Homo-oligomer: A and B are copies of this chain.
Amino acid sequence: MNIEKLMQGVSAGDRRALAQAITLVESSRADHRVMATALLDGLRPLQRQALRIGLSGTPGVGKSTFIEAFGCMLTAAGLRVAVLAVDPSSTRSGGSILGDKTRMDLLSRDPNAFIRPSPSQTHLGGVARRTREAVGLCEGAGFDIVLIETVGVGQSETVVAQISDLFVLLLAPAGGDELQGVKRGIMEIADLVLINKADGDLVAPATRACADYAGALRLMRKREQDPDGFPKAMLVSALTQVGLAAAWDEMTALSDWRRKVGHFAHHRAVQARYWFEQEVRQGLLEGLQRSEVRSAMAQAGCAVERGDLTPESAAQGILKTLLDRGPAQD
């Protein structure tokens, strides 16, 4: 693989080169990792920056329809839109969300759009790293908007929120008791709550749900980085395309404000530090997978099972060989 040529393709905005580059960052092969790092480092001096929008919603809420309609609206306005998926559950299905591009037929054929399904990954840490690097590639390829979609299984919303500049929660038109069903944590990280399917018979329940969510959001502590009125609940219909332009206006208003008060850059700095600390933790635990450590662990584990060693003293022995090797050699 010619990294120089790939870099040229990506920076020229070529979608095939971008797809190839993302495949490269998804690989865990050591030589691929070296190339991926070189590629990302080579793109950084371009200093291209997209607006990163995290989008979460439970299955059935109409995420694909929303992304199709919202994405086409943005490309029609001259913006280039990339869509990435974070789906830790795709380990089994091989990419259950966005796996089928035909669900976004118009957007996937749009030359100003790029859609990438979630890869099969064994753990959330791997998905997070790959997604951050894929976002970097999309920015290097000159995309204006990167939509990062998640179904919100387990911790994936937290991952997406820590990658995004804005976090949008898409909800079904049901309020009252249903409000309880929404995880408290996700309401707290949402900048914008969009109640979808506000069309036909569902206008009335969607309006009630919107009022309920707006009330719930008002009860939450106002965040200092936000202008008045945020986080906000709004009605949209991906089907009839009602409310999409208004939702986009709110997103740009919020990100413009955050740029003005300096929060936008600060937020990215905090995210970078978070990922640094996560990478260290994950790297430490991955150290346990090295073959010599695994065999030492297996041996000590057997002694613990036999009762020859307590769990604590066996663990101390392993930690000693892992961490306390005397002064650094390099």
Q: Which residues of A contact B (CB under 8 A)?
A: 37, 40-41, 44, 129, 132, 269-270, 272-273, 275-281, 283-285, 287-288, 297, 300-301, 304-307, 309-316, 318-330
Bound complex: CA A323 to CA B285 (Å): 11
Q: Are B37 and A313 in contact (CB under 8 A)?
A: yes
Bound complex: CA A326 to CA B329 (Å): 6
List 5 other contacts, CB 8 Å, given A276-B301, A280-B288, A284-B323: A37-B312, A270-B305, A273-B301, A283-B323, A325-B326
Q: Are A284 and B285 in contact (CB under 8 A)?
A: yes
Q: In the complex, which of the residues B280, B326, B330 contacts A319, with contact meaning CB atoms closer than 8 Å?
A: B280
A-B CB contact pairs (8 Å), 5 listed: A40-B310, A276-B301, A280-B297, A326-B328, A326-B330
Q: In the complex, which of the residues B132, B277, B287, B301 contacts A277, with contact meaning CB atoms closer than 8 Å?
A: B301
Bound complex: CA A270 to CA B304 (Å): 9
Nearest-Cβ distance from residue A34 to partner chain B, whole angstroms: 12
**Overall SS of chain A's interface:** helix
Bound complex: CA A309 to CA B300 (Å): 38
Q: Which residue of B lies closest to A40 (CB)?
A: B310
Nearest-Cβ distance from residue A288 to partner chain B, whole angstroms: 7
Q: Are A272 and B305 in contact (CB under 8 A)?
A: yes
Nearest-Cβ distance from residue A232 to partner chain B, whole angstroms: 29
Q: Which residue of B lies closest to A41 (CB)?
A: B310
**Chain B positions within 8 Å of A330 at CB level:** 320, 324-326
Q: In the complex, which of the residues B306, B319, B329 contacts A325, with contact meaning CB atoms closer than 8 Å?
A: B329
Interface centre among A300, A305, A306 (most CB of B within 10 A): A305
**Chain B positions within 8 Å of A288 at CB level:** 280-281, 284
**Chain B positions within 8 Å of A320 at CB level:** 330
**Chain B positions within 8 Å of A284 at CB level:** 284-285, 287-288, 319, 322-323
